[in-house]
Every structure is written in C-alpha cells, then in structure tokens.
Homo-oligomer: A and B are copies of this chain.
Amino acid sequence: MATIDGNRLLADLKALRRFGATGTGVVRPTFSEVDMASRRWLVERMTEAGLDAGIDGVGNVIGRSRQPGPALLIGSHSDTQPRGGWLDGAMGVIYGIEVARALPDHAIDVASWADEEGTYWGFLGSGTFCGEDVEGCAPLDAAINSAGLAGVPKARAEDGRYRCYLEAHIEQGGVLEAENKKLGVVTHIVGMNGFDVTFTGQQNHAGTTPMGLRKDAGAAAIRFAHEVQTTMASVAGPHSVWTIGRIAFDPGAPSIIPGRAELYVQVRDIAPETLRRMEDHVRALVAAADRRGPCRAALSGGDDGVRPAAMDEDLQKHIAAAAERHAPGLWRKMPSGAGHDAQVLARRMPAAMLFVPSIQGISHDFAEDTHEADIVLGCQVLATAAESILAG
C-alpha cells in the first residue's frame, strides 16, 4: 500500500501558504502577482514529483504523468477568496502532488484549476479544461494579458486519457466536526444559481414626499426580499438553501427615498429539478413585483448557474473503503453544499470528492483551519483510494 509522507505534505502546504499570507489567512486572488508566483512554485513541485508541468493559457497548472494511462486526474484550486483561508483549494492541490509522489509508478496527473473562486470568472480553469471557453469578459482578458499568458495554449481534457477525477477539499461546514467524523465521502455537489434583482423608483426627499406619492425602490426591494425569505420553502426541498447576501439602496442616505435598489438572490440544491423550481420562483417573484409597481423590478444574471452533479458511485465505494481502512467508523457520506471544480469535471469524466473536517465549520475566512492529523489522514485515504481505483 502506498504511504504518503505527512511531514512533506504539511511542509509543502505551509510553503504554499506563504504566497499571499496575511495574518492566519491568505490573500491570493487569481492572476495577482502572488498568485502567479505560487503557480510557478507549483510547477517546480510537480516537476520534482516527476510530472511534465506547466501553466496553460488561463492559468491552470497541470502536471502530466509519464506513466501509461488511462490516468487518474487529481486536483483542486490554489486561488483564494478576497480574504480567504489557507486550506480552501490549496490542500487538494498539494494532496494531488503528494499522492503522485507516493505512487510514482502510477499514471496520476495533478491540476490546480484557475479562478475557482471567481475573481474574474468562477470555475474558469476547470471549465476551460472541459471545453467551455469564456468570451467577452474584458477584465478577464486584461488579467490574462498582464499575467503574461496571452497566446499560451489552453489545456484541454484529451479524449481517452483519463480514468476519472478526484478532488479532496475541506468540508467548509460543521457536519463532520459535530459528529466527530474525520472524513466525508461526497455523494452530490450542489447546483447553484444567482440573480441580480434591481428595483427602479424615483429618488426624492424623505420629508416632503407623502407616502402615497412615493416610488420607493428600497421599500420595493424589502417587500421582494421578504417574499423570497417567506415563500421559497414552498418550492424548495429539505436540503435547499437560499441566501440574500447583498443589498444596497441608492443613494443610501437617511433623508432620501431610494431611487434605486439592488440585491442578490442565490439558490442551491443537489436535485436539478428542485434547483429549477427555485430559479423559476425567483423569476416569478420579480415579474410579480414589476407588475404590481409602482417601482420597476428587473432580473439579470442566472445564465451561468452551475447544475447539480452526482459523484460517481463506483469511485465513492473506493474512497469509502479507503476511509474505513484508515479510520474505521469515522467517515460518512454527505452532499457538498459548496460548489467545487469536481462538478465541472463530472461533465467530462467520472468524478468524486473527499472532505476533511473544518474546525468550527469556518471557511472563506482568515480563521479557516483543519487539525494537522486530519490533513495527513485525508491525504493517506486519497492515496489509498487512488491506488485501488488504478488497480481496478
């Protein structure tokens, strides 16, 4: 059985953390200088691991094994949220490198997918690898240019090269910790969609404009948001989530009736038909708000939603067996409420995911962390699963 080197794994994770380290967290948005430096460092680590490694035209770092395939592809992302944690994505990339080092005679490719967090375009790297090109996003084109990647070829998933895709990630929730489990075998990755909803009324003086004559865009936004909060459950499933994470009134002053208001509604579910009902419900509520007036209501976005993805059942069995071997009784099956590159890869090849516990369920925050023993255990389980998959 392949044995990973826990000290080497942790040393590389901590070395990667230094790129953009800010307090206990990491600030490493895609295509920033520190992000590009970290990608060059990843190329060096992959090359040392015996892979043919490079950075492609959208920033993906891909290390290709020289062993005969079909290969196992292991990856995640090394970019961060604007104020992110040190493990979100990064851990899965270093796991890939460590598993490739632990199984040098096996065909294992490793990837760090660009811009999973959507600094410019969410899932840019995994999407491009799977054949989905982003067009017409000027800020992205400018960032690619200034990162020196203009004209560099984009890597694509070659037909027939891959057996499957594996991704390990921190849970980003508190389920494993609450149940004292050490590992999660992911069954589904949630699909999600989001909508910008804009209300347009008439800005006016909050003292001299009678209630009956107002076109208060803020009041219209509040009524709509309350409808979302109170009626979504009627179309949602038991595991659905919906969030209004952002709202703003313009001009946003105490004595001025807002002439414009904007908010963002996000919906997530693991069942495609449930997600579709939630999306339709948002659209229907916006249309109803627009019809009743006196403010106009308009919806934009929602075209680039991510569909739910089921993880491959055979791969789940390999991961579950490895988990049971290294941590008997300390693992569970669970859905992923967060989006991951694995759901993009799942459109091209069998894919599966492994979770390790997040301390206090915290992520997307400088305080994000996982116990070192759990980090090492997760990588060993991934290596054992990889070995059994490639032997299968």
Residue of B nearest to A221 (CB): B247
The answer to whether the Cβ of A219 comes within 8 Å of any Cβ in the partner chain is: yes
Q: What residues of B have a CB within 8 angstroms of the CB of A249 in the complex?
A: 244-247
Contact B207 A268, beta carbon cutoff 8 Å: yes
With contacts A222-B225, A264-B254 taken as known, whether A365 is within 8 angstroms of B245 at the C-beta atoms is: no
Q: What residues of B have a CB within 8 angstroms of the CB of A243 in the complex?
A: 206, 216, 218, 254-255, 257
| Chain B min CB distance to A230 (Å) | 8
Contact A205 B173, beta carbon cutoff 8 Å: yes
Q: What residues of B have a CB within 8 angstroms of the CB of A242 in the complex?
A: 211
Residue of B nearest to A211 (CB): B241
The answer to whether the Cβ of A364 comes within 8 Å of any Cβ in the partner chain is: yes
Contact A205 B254, beta carbon cutoff 8 Å: no
Please give the count of copies of this chain that the complex contains.
2
The answer to whether the Cβ of A337 comes within 8 Å of any Cβ in the partner chain is: yes
| Chain B min CB distance to A279 (Å) | 15
The answer to whether the Cβ of A190 comes within 8 Å of any Cβ in the partner chain is: yes
Partner of A229, one of B222, B229, B247: B222
Q: What residues of B have a CB within 8 angstroms of the CB of A365 in the complex?
A: 203
Contact A245 B337, beta carbon cutoff 8 Å: no
With contacts A190-B207, A338-B207 taken as known, whether A245 is within 8 angstroms of B229 at the C-beta atoms is: no
Which chain A residues (236-254) contact chain B, with CB distance < 8 Å? 239-249, 252-254
Partner of A222, one of B207, B226, B256: B226
Q: What residues of B have a CB within 8 angstroms of the CB of A247 in the complex?
A: 218, 222, 247-249, 252
| Chain B min CB distance to A158 (Å) | 31
Residue of B nearest to A301 (CB): B254
- Alpha-carbon gap, A205 to B336, bound state (A): 12
Q: What residues of B have a CB within 8 angstroms of the CB of A337 in the complex?
A: 205, 207-210
- Which of A218, A222, A365 has the most B CB atoms < 10 Å from its CB? A222
Partner of A244, one of B213, B222, B241, B338: B222
The answer to whether the Cβ of A35 comes within 8 Å of any Cβ in the partner chain is: no
The answer to whether the Cβ of A194 comes within 8 Å of any Cβ in the partner chain is: yes
| Chain B min CB distance to A216 (Å) | 7
The answer to whether the Cβ of A258 comes within 8 Å of any Cβ in the partner chain is: yes
Q: What residues of B have a CB within 8 angstroms of the CB of A216 in the complex?
A: 243
- Alpha-carbon gap, A336 to B171, bound state (A): 58
Q: What residues of B have a CB within 8 angstroms of the CB of A256 in the complex?
A: 245, 364
Residue of B nearest to A266 (CB): B254
Q: What residues of B have a CB within 8 angstroms of the CB of A226 in the complex?
A: 222-223, 225-226
* 24 contacts across the A-B interface (CB closer than 8 A): A173-B209, A204-B361, A204-B362, A205-B364, A207-B241, A207-B268, A207-B336, A207-B339, A209-B241, A211-B233, A211-B240, A211-B242, A216-B243, A219-B229, A219-B244, A222-B222, A225-B226, A244-B249, A245-B254, A247-B249, A247-B252, A248-B248, A248-B252, A254-B266
| Apart from the given pairs A204-B361, A246-B253, 14 other A-B contacts in the complex at a CB distance below 8 Å | A173-B205, A190-B207, A194-B254, A205-B363, A209-B241, A209-B361, A218-B244, A219-B229, A219-B244, A223-B229, A245-B257, A247-B247, A247-B249, A248-B252
Question: Which 10 A-B residue pairings sit nearest by Cβ, starting from the closest?
Answer: A173-B208, A207-B337, A208-B337, A226-B226, A206-B243, A207-B338, A222-B225, A172-B208, A246-B252, A254-B264
